[in-house]
Amino acid sequence: MSEKQANSTRLRRVIKMGDLDPAFKREIREIPGVEKINLCFQCGTCTADCPIARFSEIYSPRKIMRMTQLGMKKKLLSSESLWLCAACFTCVDHCPQGVDIAGVVRALRNIAVREGIIPDVFKELTDNILKTGYAYKIPELRKKKRTEKGLPPLPEANLEDVSKLFDVVAVFKAKQEEE
């Protein structure tokens, strides 16, 4: 590693007082399932066993747990790694302290959505689901090929129900506020 790279790595590890948000620390600990976050002693088992961390250079559930303990709200909510968790619960099964790591990630994502911090890919998925009931826009060519092959048409979604569901999970509201 060059001296410049080493310096840059050291700089990235600096935690500034301004990054810590005590109100966020209190808020997140009151969310059911997140209360055990303080029991995390940074053993790293979650990261070692995580199938996403195995293939990603930026994803570390251990680091997310530490940043949550410290209340690093802005950095956590703006981090793209927050959206990489596949919710497989491997980490939850293996954590020696019984920390619901996947639950913490879910809570952080919910807060990010509430604050309008949603990655473009999820905005696109949201749009597709609201307009069609499908996560991906089904191309007309695909529909035509189904007909040619004698397959039945794809089921139509009840968009009113879809909209109600989005209302319940707050994504719809956050999206409207953003627009």
Minimum CB distance to ligand SF4 smaller for 48 or for 154: 48
Q: Which residues bind ligand SF4 (CB under 6 A)?
A: 40-46, 50-52, 61-62, 65, 85-91, 95-97, 99, 101-102
Q: Which is nearer to ligand SF4, 37 or 166 (CB)?
A: 37
As measured in angstroms, the least distance from the Cβ of 50 to ligand SF4 is: 3
CA distance 64 to 162: 32
Could you tell me the smallest distance in angstroms from the CB atom of residue 124 to ligand SF4?
22
Cβ-based neighbours of 28, under 8 Å, separated by 6 or more:
34, 37, 68, 71, 104, 107, 108, 111
DSSP string across 48-87 = HH-HHHHH-SS--HHHHHHHHHHT-HHHHHT-GGGG----
∠ CA 113-78-38, nearest 5°, is: 85
What's the min distance (Å) between Cβ of 39 and ligand SF4?
7
Cβ–Cβ under 8 Å, residues 86 and 51? yes
Considering beta carbons, is residue 34 or 166 the nearer one to ligand SF4?
A: 34
Nearer to ligand SF4, 22 or 96 (CB): 96
Q: Which is nearer to ligand SF4, 105 or 174 (CB)?
A: 105
∠ CA 77-81-87, nearest 5°, is 100
Q: Closest separation between CB of residue 163 and ligand SF4, Å?
A: 29
Q: How far is the CB of 80 from ligand SF4 (least distance, A)?
A: 14
What is the rounded distance in angstroms from the CA atom of residue 96 to the CA atom of residue 46? 9
